[in-house]
Amino acid sequence: MKVAIIDLDGTVFDTQRRFELCLKEAGGKSLEELKGAQRRAFWECYQSEKYMDMDEPNYDVINFVRALKARGYFIHIVSGRSEAQLNATLEQLMKYNVPYDRITLRSKNDYRKDHEFKGEVIQSYLEEGYEVIIIDDSKSVRNLLPGKAFDPKSLPDPNSLI
């Protein structure tokens, strides 16, 4: 019983172009400078399907996920993306042939930090006795499972995880 928890934005997909377009649309040069309504406008844009077609696939991660699937891992995509992005997300996954068994996106009014949202999912698998690994660009998410969590920029040989 092995499960791989896979992130999307910054992991399976490079979302830099979407980020930049939403930042420009919100009227800022950096996320840090945006406050109040501008910051909300940025996140509403980024958490919509509007510029998702600008996302670029990370084939190193996609091939790693394919290798995990071939080695019997249950693939659970857990993303901070909004449920409003579900259709575009499913299209992206199909377009780039990213295997998955389950997908969990953030519900409309869920404003928890990424590591809290994803930690809940991870903890439920651990409690059920699953062997869990994480692939995520967020250090705070990777810190939830030291030694079993990997940065998408430095993936191990998938054979070493068997």
Beta-carbon count within 10 A of 126 CB: 14
User: Which range has the worst mean pLDDT, 2-11, 29-38, 70-79, 104-113?
Assistant: 104-113
CA distance 59 to 108: 29
CB 99 within 8 A of CB 66: yes
Tens-digit pLDDT profile for residues 115-149: 999 999 999 999 999 999 999 999 999 999 988 99
CA distance 11 to 22: 19
Tens-digit pLDDT profile for residues 53-103: 999 999 999 999 999 999 999 999 999 998 989 999 999 999 999 999 999
CA distance 145 to 132: 8
CA distance 107 to 24: 26
Tens-digit pLDDT profile for residues 16-65: 999 999 999 999 889 899 999 999 999 999 988 899 999 999 999 999 99
What's the pLDDT score for residue 162?
67
pLDDT interval class at 113 (50, 70, 90): confident
CB 125 within 8 A of CB 133: no
CA distance 127 to 111: 24
Residue 111 pLDDT more than 90? Answer: no
pLDDT interval class at 15 (50, 70, 90): very high
CB 149 within 8 A of CB 142: yes
Name which of 114, 135, 139, 8 is nearest 67 in CA terms: 135
CA distance 70 to 76: 14
Element (H, E) at 161: none
